Structure 1
Amino acid sequence: MKKLLLSILLAGGLFGCRKLDQPITREFTETAYWRDSQDALDALTACYEHLSKDDYFFGDEALSDNAYNSGGGLINVNAIANGGYDAANGRVADTWNYYYTTIRRCNTVTTNIDRVPNMDATLKARIVAEARFIRAYAYFQLTAWYGDVPYYTNLISIDESRTIARTDKNQIQQFVLAELAAIQKDLPTNVQQAQNDRGRVTRGAAIALSARVHLFRSEWPGVVADCEQLITKTDNGTYSLFPSYSNQFTVANEYNSEVILDLQYGGGRTYDKQRSFMPQTIAALRSVLVPTQDLVNDYIMTNGKAIGDAGSGYDENNPYVNRDPRFEATILHDGSKVIDFTGTVQTILTKPGSVPATNTVDDQGASPTGYYFYKYYDRAAANYASSLNLIMIRYADVLLMYAEAKNELAQMNEAVWNQTIRPIRVRAGFTDAGATQFNAGLTQDQLRTGIRRERRAEFAFEGLRVYDIRRWKTADAVMNRPVRGIKVTSGAFNKDPNGYIIVENRLFTNPKHYLWPVPTVERDQNKNLSQNQDW
């Protein structure tokens, strides 16, 4: 078969077995395919395999002020985070290639499914709806990163791929929203979905993704309307907060009441990214994806106050005492205890001069910030290869999207608070009324600050922060700061005036860095692809 030149034409392994957590193992010629419904399901599985990947899920965290990635791993996201990249950057090129392959696979399903003879109409409608959802997700990702991009819903030819121009991102995002609305009738709810179909797209996922697109566009009434379909009604699915914040990120509790959409792993599909973020003494590898001091500082106290607020009770000499319970569930710090793969309890020491020094900032293979991520650590992983599903959308996000939208519409009140922020904090383990009860004396700006901080704490290490700081247009502020680590009093460290380790300086230029450049390799092959501002 002739090799296709452009990534928007790459179909790479279109067909696979039906089970979503298994890799593609079968390929068919066009003449021998689309014979029955199983062929259609297998082609759809190939779309699911290209929904997203662990490199993006974890790597996106390092594109924000939550995390730092040292070296060129995770497809060179560090160069993007520090502003030292161009249109040839590995992640910039990979994301474009990846999602156009996704679109190609989905277009293959929607274009060819009518060839299947005597197919059950309900199953056919569901398969098409799932493919349209995945395609809509791919287009949303492309517009979020690049802005205007080539847009098509058919199987374009090689010649067309060499001349297609970019379409306005707003037109594409309107298409995404229209698709997500149109497919809902053909998707089951999470209650109706058969157990062997777990992991497939549901009606609730379509609604929640629509809310996320509206959120990205600051379309607050749209966010409210979508979220209310899941918060105040049950005919689109039944969701609730899982009782334990930390335990929802375990294999034992996959497909729990909070999960709306997750990336499927297991069987033949695993990932070993925990070797990049856990301490060396546990993962037996360098720790290169690590939390920042700025993330740590944003966790509130158990009384609901930020660490810099009067009366917070924050003690700089005991900085991890009386903090948001989600902090301990997400981040390992000096003195944290963790059970390793052998069942041994390890005490993690990160301060300079500690003995042993393996996990301290003194060691070149240890975290340079003095912190490690703990969320998504999977002790059940064999040889570090985890089969734990990665949650892409969960019900807590619906609640916090709703809270943010209501506040932006100046409609935040005690009733909305008690629907959203309060249950999330109670689930996290807060008991102090200062953290759980609505404060009617707060201004809209103060509530905005609190809601944004809540999102950061709730979703740390889940890859959402980078989208938030870009849609809020705060990235040019928070990403122009140095990456900081723990406060030290000794050692030859580069430190800020307050004694915090400076790991790296970052640069984020407004407006240039709010959009990635169109990859060089794509523009070399298609002269009709324009470039983003300042690139």
Structure 2
Amino acid sequence: MKKYKYIYLYVLMALFSGCNDDFLERYPLSELAPENYFQSENELKTYTNSFYNALPVALDIFYNSPYYADDDARTTVHDEIRGVRVVPTTGGGWTWTELRRINFFLENSSKCEDKSVVAKYNGLARFFRAYFYFQKIKRFGDVPWYDTTLSVDDEGLFKARDSRTLVFDKMLEDIDFSIANLEVTKSGQLITKWTALALKSRMCLFEGTFRKYHGLEGWERILDECIKASEELMTKSGYGIHTSSHQSAYQDLFIQEEPLVKEIILARQYSPEIPFVHSVNFYTLSASYGRPGVLRSVINSYLMKDGSRFTDIPNYKTMQFYEETQNRDPRLSQTIRTPGYKRIGETVTSVPDFSTCITGYQYIKFVLEPKFDTGNCTNDMPIFRYAEVLLNYAEAKAEKGTITQSDIDKSIKLLRDRVGMPNLNVAFSNANPDPYLEGEYPNVSKGINKGVILEIRRERRIELIREGFRWDDLLRWKEGKRLERVFYGMYFPGIGTYDLDRDGKIDLEIYSGKKPATVPGRQYQKIGELVLENGEAGGQIITNPTIEKHWTEGKDYFYPIPTQERQLNQNLTQNPGWDDDSNL
């Protein structure tokens, strides 16, 4: 069934992706002229299926810059983190093609006589308009609001940017319409009422906390909308947290060819028959695509299995791989290779591979068995899942200052129950804020909820790692300066041999000078190529030691408006700090 559904949707996407990308051009295809089209439900459905192209693909979710931010390191550092972005001449995310298609549909869908059908597909279109503008305000802040199609001589093409307040209020109108009119059935493939509620929860958490930490007005009202949307989904949708074994339930979510619809609200689906596949195995396990590895600050954030803080252990900074991975939150061993790891489809244990992992902490999240290593992966990529909604709810409540233990019990507790972890205790967290997390997030102000806000941020980072949230989180928390820090990997006390998983066999030799005689099955890393803090005397791995990272407050939270766009429309103002030398 999945095969045929996906072929249908894929063909439709291919049909519509060929449309001209010029924002000012009218649709030239006679078969899409409003007098000949939009007459039936099938025609509305066919047209709106093209909107799904706006959703992220697998590469966006598990790999693309800059979404992983400070969760992992690669051999290269992207421009956003290096602080070397420049004002583009054109492009740069300032594209409006999809919006015009949406508005074109909304202007013509009423030609279908069945008004209930019109309302349903208008709900879908307005979902995607809210989604479109969500990406725009995150990237640029203030942007022009358009809810009609414009001709080449329309003065609206040359309007100034509207305030993000106006734009976000319009987005709320759109998403509320979607919630009221979309179908209530569950679907891992199609947008429903529940997807719309999940989007409202996400965009309101972003906007509410962005306004709070960036000193903008109206954040309380927006966080109330996040709480309201999250609560409705939590109480009425029937979604829940996927549970099975504490040792596998979390990892299971990310290796399925059909989404686990108990928790996955919407996923990007893949199929070998089309073919429509992705390359998560190849990007994770080859030496060709940056050798991604999780940073040590992430590893430090995982709690002990009994709920105590790893970073309260006096010698945590100098713990080696085996010791630091013992008795931890089970999500750690379902996210990276830890001692005893057996790859799906194999019976032998595997240690981290330093030739394909720059930090030593090697991802297993999303990774399938070896037969998929050539770039033919078909596991689905979650776009919205219930766990995120629970995290949004808890964070919005905490930031509003209204969170109670009861709120935690119906949100964070469910995520920890999945893996057999103790619950988060509000009173203890607020009375004893974690000093390590205080150093990680210095912008969290002192107050009665500081401790629990920090703990929710811990939970969010761990639960949603590699799902494309971290960059947005740092932007909305005004924590961009974190990206200037040294990105550390594993700790080693110096040159020598290491049995990483303590199975009695040497797995790694760190050496200086001439390479030792090769022993089969042993990895070799030369000091200088593997950079440790103190050289031969050891320390944490330093990734990208020769690349400087810079973050400019007041500038780098937004992208610049392209030069050509400002030349064409001199009412467009540039974002602060960006000099495009356009002489405008």
What TM-score results when the alignment is normalised by the length of structure 1?
Answer: 0.81
Give the one of 542, 554, 577 matched to 1:502: 542
Look up the equivalent residue of 1:292 and give its one-letter code.
L
- Counterpart of 1:7 in structure 2 is none
- Counterpart of 1:134 in structure 2 is 128
- CA, structure 1 residues 270+392, in 2 after alignment: closer, same or farther (shift >3 Å)? same
Deviation at 1:121, TM superposition (A): 2.6
* RMSD (Å) for aligned C-alpha atoms: 3.0
Give the one of 321, 325, 332 matched to 2:326: 321
Look up the equivalent residue of 1:79 and give its one-letter code.
D
Deviation at 1:311, TM superposition (A): 8.1
Aligned length: 478
Deviation at 1:441, TM superposition (A): 3.0
Deviation at 1:519, TM superposition (A): 2.9
Q: Secondary structure at the match of 2:488?
A: strand
Look up the equivalent residue of 1:272 and give its one-letter code.
H
Instruction: Report which of the two structures shows the higher radius of gyration computed on alpha carbons.
Output: 2
Deviation at 1:176, TM superposition (A): 0.9
CA contact (8 A) 1:227 1:402 kept: yes
CA contact (8 A) 1:413 1:440 kept: no
- CA, structure 1 residues 253+151, in 2 after alignment: closer, same or farther (shift >3 Å)? same
- Counterpart of 2:178 in structure 1 is 183
CA contact (8 A) 2:241 2:418 kept: yes
Structure 1 stretch displaced more, 136-145 or 161-170: 161-170
CA distance in 2, matches of 1:288, 1:22: 34
CA distance in 1, matches of 2:313, 2:338: 25
- Counterpart of 1:11 in structure 2 is none
Deviations 1:7-28 (A, max 9, x none): xxxxxxxxx9994355634365
CA distance in 2, matches of 1:39, 1:220: 38
Deviation at 1:312, TM superposition (A): 10
- CA, structure 1 residues 451+269, in 2 after alignment: closer, same or farther (shift >3 Å)? farther
- List alignment gaps of at least 5 residues for structure 1: 1-15, 72-76, 351-358
Deviations 1:332-369 (A, max 9, x none): 35764323xxx44564444xxxxxxxx32xx4xx2222
CA contact (8 A) 2:280 2:375 kept: yes
Q: Secondary structure at the match of 2:142?
A: coil
- Counterpart of 1:516 in structure 2 is 559
CA distance in 2, matches of 1:185, 1:463: 28
Deviation at 1:137, TM superposition (A): 0.6
Q: Secondary structure at the match of 2:331?
A: helix
Look up the equivalent residue of 1:57 and give its one-letter code.
I
CA contact (8 A) 2:67 2:469 kept: no
What TM-score results when the alignment is normalised by the length of structure 2?
Answer: 0.75
CA contact (8 A) 1:46 1:105 kept: no
Deviations 1:408-454 (A, max 9, x none): 23333332221112221010232xxxx32625233121111111100
- Counterpart of 2:160 in structure 1 is 165
CA distance in 1, matches of 2:108, 2:398: 45
% identity of equivalent residues: 26
Deviations 1:56-103 (A, max 9, x none): 3232564511123444xxxxx8111222221239xx945333xx2322
Look up the equivalent residue of 1:494 and give its one-letter code.
V
Give the one of 87, 93, 96 matched to 2:94: 96
Q: Does 1:436 align with 2:426?
A: no
- Counterpart of 2:392 in structure 1 is 401
CA distance in 2, matches of 1:373, 1:520: 39
Look up the equivalent residue of 2:123 and give its one-letter code.
A
Look up the equivalent residue of 1:501 and give its one-letter code.
I
Within 5 Å, which residues of 2 pair with 1:273-284?
273-280=279-286
Deviations 1:257-314 (A, max 9, x none): 112233343364634341454223xxx8545443222222222211222321158989
- Counterpart of 2:295 in structure 1 is 292
Deviation at 1:381, TM superposition (A): 4.7
CA contact (8 A) 2:268 2:382 kept: yes
CA contact (8 A) 2:336 2:364 kept: yes
- List alignment gaps of at least 5 residues for structure 2: 17-28, 210-221, 244-248, 431-448, 496-526, 579-584
CA distance in 2, matches of 1:52, 1:19: 19
- CA, structure 1 residues 62+503, in 2 after alignment: closer, same or farther (shift >3 Å)? farther
Within 5 Å, which residues of 2 pair with 1:109-508?
109-116=105-112, 118=113, 120-160=114-154, 163-189=158-184, 192-193=185-186, 198-216=188-206, 217-218=208-209, 219-231=222-234, 233-234=235-236, 237-243=237-243, 244-266=249-271, 268=274, 270-280=276-286, 285-310=288-313, 316-317=319-320, 318-332=323-337, 336-339=341-344, 343-345=345-347, 347-350=349-352, 359-360=353-354, 363=355, 366-379=356-369, 381=372, 383-430=374-421, 435-436=422-423, 438=425, 440-443=427-430, 444-476=449-481, 478-488=482-492, 489-490=494-495, 491-492=527-528, 493-496=530-533, 499-504=539-544, 505-508=548-551
- CA, structure 1 residues 155+345, in 2 after alignment: closer, same or farther (shift >3 Å)? farther
CA contact (8 A) 1:483 1:502 kept: yes
- Counterpart of 1:54 in structure 2 is 58
- CA, structure 1 residues 227+500, in 2 after alignment: closer, same or farther (shift >3 Å)? same
Look up the equivalent residue of 2:111 and give its one-letter code.
R
CA distance in 1, matches of 2:451, 2:315: 16
